[in-house]
Chain A
Amino acid sequence: MENFTRLTAIAAPMDRINIDTDMIIPKQYLRTIKRTGLGSVVFDELRFNVDGTEKSEFVLNQEPYRRSGIIVAGDNFGCGSSREHAPWALLDFGIRCIISTSFADIFYNNCFKNGILPVTVKSDQLKALMADASDRENPELTVDLNIETIIRPNGGRVAFKIDEFRRKCLLEGLDDIGLTLQKQRKIDSFESKQRVNQPWLYLENESN
């Protein structure tokens, strides 16, 4: 996983609530056995007409937002299915950070596994950042995970907070599984105890 420290990028304003994972990546693209290549179809139905041509009113089809690295979106971003294809598709397009007033839990988790930083801000802050992003002359935001701060085009600062462990993993690009496997002895010992206390959870006892 690529680490995330500080990002300066064009921020695309997506001023609507409940942007769900079906909108981010519709089901027909879940029939893949890879993680890559979904950027060309991210936001498929919002972005393209049935004949495959672009919908000019959609923000990512407009300059300068075709090069966005950040999305500023309305409340409850990423609700719906658990599909990790949603963050994969965003990442493949080039999105490394999403700013909203709230995120659906599973989507929020999935972001951290893919080097994407989801930032939660208050609604008045979101309003200001939405206005910044909507200024197509200068829609660049800087997001610094080290100091947990968004720096606005006017120099204003918006602080945010990320759980310590998640922040560390993202800053260093750490592999969760590798970290957990270092705790193998603790897992072994948990299992030995559970095998005694709840033997019915182990297949070798099921046929009693």
Chain B
Amino acid sequence: MTDPKTLFEKIWDSHLVDVQGDGTCLLYIDRHLTHEVTTPQPYEGLRQAGRSVRRPDATIAVLDHNVPTDWNEKIDEDSQLQIDTLRRNCAEFGVELYEVDDARNGIVHVIGPEQGFTLPGTIIVCGDSHTATHGAFGALAFGVGTSEVEHVLATQTLIQAPARSMRISVDGDLPAGCSAKDLILAVIAKIGTAGGTGHVIEYAGPAIEALTMEGRMTVSNMTIEAGARAGLVAPDNTTFAYLQGRPRAPKGDLWHQAVSYWKTLPSDKGASYDKEVIIDVSGIVPQVTWGTSPELVAPITSQVPDPADAPTEDARDSWRRAIDYMGLRAGMNMAGIPVDRVFIGSCTNGRIEDIRAAAEVAKGRKVSDGVRAIVVPGSGLVKLQAEEEGLDRILTEAGFEWRSPGCSMCIAMNTDRLEPGERCASTSNRNFEGRQGRQGRTHLVSPAMAAAAAVTGELTDVRGMLP
């Protein structure tokens, strides 16, 4: 009998190409997702060294980070150059690229799963920190830097030091009005943005098992905001049902062969972790961030905290700075803080269930005067699906703008951004200073909470607005 292993250890061990004397590993990479912003330099490096892409069939490219979400808009020269550079590189190196007007295009972390390119038991990388999203499928998925992108293109491997493991067990039923976004924000509130540093997280427990694949993706996505590079969920029937029939998922006999293999992946009984966290979500209420780090988050029913109550001196400074940047006061009710903008989209919350949740709240209501609210589907296919369901009409009738897919206001590389001082309820993943635009103020929330803020003009407890 071999020692019990975790899901993470099973994937890690099955991808070892080489182990050096000091424990540094050479890992095989099964899937490589690429986009326009972090690929120009790697391809230039390959060209200079006369190297090729080792596995074009295991690599796909999308245009998402800086493409306009309003196709009538003129694109700036630098972005156009990046887009054209990716087109040229993909053609030269034989990598498949989803063009802007291809329904399969969209945010890299939405389309990987959608196409069945993301599969359990694989190692997936991308030059983007939210690659953690794919961990929802029981894949080891993590973001890499640009030099590592080049390394993967050239060798289909990565040099990695082993990580420690952490299990986050989430108990309890998620209450009505709370979503996967509230769950992960509550986890980050508990462990902090550096809580997972150096670790690979495995999310487990009944509350995780009960989530849909889209909900699990939202949780895994924000693993990086908890400091860990990867956050896995064991594959189960929910996973298999989601994948079956997707364009790049295995078919026929291979499907059955794959599923039997995937069923061996969940952590063995008795497997041990370097760190264990248990959280019960049955009592949580919708979450909203008040500061400039995702860990500065609180229930919508609470108040902006007082820096005097911060646990450490460093935290006190950071709280004070954050409250000042956000234009808030300690003791203010979170509910009732007025917003100027609302953003629904991103790799965290740009999938069909997110848009349904927003539409449910928006239905029959109007976006508040003076608020500008945009909805940006995560992919062309999400957009089509939403239109088939009539969600676009519900949203536009309520006064939301209905856009084309892209990263949009989550990274604010194009004109979808905040003006100085503007306050935004956003379904994205980072509320850093300037993240959504210089001097912009971001409150991270779920899609339902964002829609509620749009129609009331202020941060609002969505639980009072649901049917």
Contact = CB atoms under 8 A, between A and B. Distances in A.
Interface residues of A, number: 64
A205 B163 CA distance: 33
A104 B227 contact: yes
B193 A79 contact: yes
A163 B161 contact: yes
B60 to A, nearest CB: 11
B41 A201 contact: no
Contacts of A16: 314, 317-318, 321
Interface string B431-446: 0111100110000000
B349 interface: no
A35 interface: yes
Contact of A79 (B37, B121, B163, B194): B194
A138 B314 CA distance: 25
Interface string B8-26: 0000000001101010101
Interface string B237-253: 00000000000101111
Interface string B159-176: 101010000000000000
Given A23-B432, A82-B145, A177-B155, A18 B257 contact: no
Contacts of A26: 434, 438
Contacts of B147: 84, 110, 113-114, 176
Given A198-B261, A201-B58, A82 B144 contact: yes
Contacts of A110: 145-148
B129 A180 contact: no
B198 A105 contact: yes
A45 interface: yes
Interface centre among B26, B76, B156, B194 (most CB of A within 10 A): B194
Contact of B44 (A33, A104, A202, A208): A33
B419 to A, nearest CB: 11
Interface stretch (A5-13, A151-159, A181-189): A181-189
A104 B293 contact: no
Interface string A82-100: 1111010000000000000
Contacts of B18: 183, 186
A16 B227 CA distance: 17
B78 to A, nearest CB: 4
Contacts of A199: 254, 257
A113 B156 CA distance: 17
Contact of A27 (B57, B154, B412): B412
Contact of B37 (A30, A50, A190, A204): A30
A81 B163 CA distance: 19
Contacts of B413: 27-28, 30-31
A69 interface: no
A118 to B, nearest CB: 13
Interface string B43-78: 011000101001001100000011000000000101
Contact of B146 (A17, A20, A84): A84
B17 A31 contact: no
B143 A82 contact: yes
Nearest to A103: B197
A75 B194 contact: yes
A170 B56 CA distance: 30
A186 B26 contact: yes
A207 B156 CA distance: 22
Contacts of B150: 177
B282 interface: no
Contact of B57 (A45, A109, A190, A203): A203
Interface string B125-156: 00111010000000000111111101100111
Contacts of B66: 31
B76 A35 contact: no
B272 interface: no
A130 to B, nearest CB: 11
A68 interface: no
Contact of A75 (B224, B250, B261, B314): B314
B26 A183 contact: yes
Contacts of A203: 57-58
Given A31-B37, A177-B155, A18 B293 contact: yes
Given A17-B314, A165-B20, A181-B154, A105 B430 contact: no
A134 interface: no
B321 to A, nearest CB: 7
A200 B433 contact: no
B161 to A, nearest CB: 6
A82 B248 contact: no
Given A31-B66, A79-B194, A22 B432 contact: yes
9 contacts: A18-B318, A23-B433, A30-B37, A31-B78, A31-B81, A180-B151, A186-B17, A201-B58, A206-B250
Given A27-B435, A84-B145, A102-B194, 13 more contacts: A20-B432, A22-B432, A22-B434, A30-B65, A31-B78, A31-B413, A35-B41, A45-B434, A50-B438, A105-B197, A177-B150, A187-B54, A187-B157
Interface of A: 16-18, 20, 22-23, 26-28, 30-35, 45, 50, 74-76, 79-85, 87, 102-106, 109-110, 113-114, 163-166, 176-177, 179-181, 183-184, 186-187, 190-191, 194, 198-208
